């Protein structure tokens, strides 16, 4: 089996995550889809590390995880705040820019 298959898998998961971000309306699900995209990228990094024979890719993947954790923390806090004031977690309800 070619190692490139990991990369194909990564591309597919990334695409599915992107669709999820666009299609789903629940803010938490949207967030989870973003996590999926980040994970897909991580898989590609790990695979690259293996191909290149050094650990740089793994280091970047590690950092990505930390950044993703930060993002989740802040993002979820924002969702909670919005929910508290608007009683809704749907991203479509926060469309005040329209008017």
Q: Whole-number minimum distance, CB 34 to other proteins, in Å?
A: 10
Q: Which residues between 27 and 56 bind other proteins (CB under 8 A)?
A: 27-33, 35-36, 39, 42-43, 46-47, 49-56
* Contact pattern from residue 65 through residue 84 relative to other proteins, giving x for each residue in contact according to CB under 8 A and a dash for the rest: xxxxxxxxxx-xxxxxx-xx
86 binds other proteins (CB under 8 A): no
Query: 43-52 long-range contacts, Cβ below 8 Å, gap at least 24?
Result: 43/6, 43/9, 43/10, 43/13, 44/6, 44/7, 44/10, 44/11, 46/6, 47/3, 47/6, 47/7, 47/10, 50/3, 51/3
Q: Whole-number minimum distance, CB 44 to other proteins, in Å?
A: 9
Q: Whole-number minimum distance, CB 87 to other proteins, in Å?
A: 9
DSSP, res 54: S
12 binds other proteins (CB under 8 A): yes
């Amino acid at each position: 089996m070619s190692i490139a298959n990991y990369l194909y898998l990564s591309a597919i998961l990334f695409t599915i995550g992107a669709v999820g971000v666009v299609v789903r309306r629940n803010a938490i699900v949207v967030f989870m889809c973003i996590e999926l995209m980040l994970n897909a990228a991580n898989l590609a990094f790990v695979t690259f590390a293996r191909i290149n024979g050094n650990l740089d890719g793994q280091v970047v993947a590690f950092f990505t995880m930390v950044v993703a954790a930060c993002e989740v923390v802040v993002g979820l806090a924002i969702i909670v705040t919005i929910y508290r004031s608007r009683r809704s977690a749907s991203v479509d309800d926060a469309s005040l820019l329209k008017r």
